[in-house]
Amino acid sequence: MKTYVITGATSGIGNSLVREFSADSVVFAGYRNFEKREELQNVSKNVIPFFIDMTQSESITKAVEFITSKTDKVDTLINVAGCVVAGAVENIEIDSIRRQFEVNTFSHLQLTQGLFRCLEGGKIINISSMASYGIFPFVAPYCASKRALDILFSSLEIETGGKVKVVSIKPGVIATPLWEKSIKENAELLTENSDYEKEMKFLVGNAKNNGVNGLDVKKVVDLVVRVDGMKNPQSSYKVGNDAIGASIVSRLPQNVVNKLVSFGLKLRVK
Ligand SMILES: NC(=O)c1ccc[n+]([C@@H]2O[C@H](COP(=O)([O-])OP(=O)(O)OC[C@H]3O[C@@H](n4cnc5c(N)ncnc54)[C@H](OP(=O)(O)O)[C@@H]3O)[C@@H](O)[C@H]2O)c1
Residues 6+ away with beta carbon under 8 Å from 32: 10, 51, 52, 53, 54
Q: What is the separation of C-alpha 3 from the centre of its chain, rounded to a whole number of angstroms?
A: 20
CATH number at residue 77: 3.40.50.720
Amino acid symbol at 69: S
How many folded domains does the chain comprise? 1
**Would 190 be classed as within a structural domain?**
no
Residue 37 CB–ligand 1 contact under 6 Å: no
Per residue in 70-106, pLDDT tens?
999 999 999 999 999 999 999 999 999 999 999 999 9
User: For residues 185 and 83, is the Cβ–Cβ distance under 8 A?
Assistant: yes
The answer, yes or no, to whether any atom of ligand 1 lies below 6 A from the CB of 169, is no
The answer to whether 77 and 108 have CB atoms below 8 angstroms apart is no
Whether ligand 1 lies within 6 angstroms of the CB of 174 is answered as: yes
Per the domain annotation, does 270 fall within a domain? no
Q: What is the pLDDT of residues 187-206, one digit of tens each?
A: 988 888 889 999 999 999 99
Establish if 256 belongs to a structural domain: no
Sheet holding 3-6, edge to edge: 47-51, 26-31, 3-6, 76-79, 123-127, 165-171, 236-239
Q: Which atom of ligand 1 is nearest to the CA of 104?
A: 45
Domain contains 55: yes
Give the domain extent around 130.
3-176+215-248
Which atom of ligand 1 is found nearest the CA of 33?
40
pLDDT over 90 (residue 58): yes
Is residue 200 included in any domain, yes or no?
no
Q: Is residue 203 part of a domain?
A: no
Please indicate, yes or no, if residue 267 is contained in any of the structural domains: no
Give the pLDDT of residue 190: 87
Q: Which atom of ligand 1 is nearest to the CA of 102?
A: 31
Q: Each residue of 213-270: pLDDT tens digit?
A: 999 999 999 999 999 999 999 999 999 999 999 999 999 999 999 999 999 999 999 8
Angle, nearest 10°, between helix axes 140-159 and 107-119? 20
Residue 255 resides in a domain: no
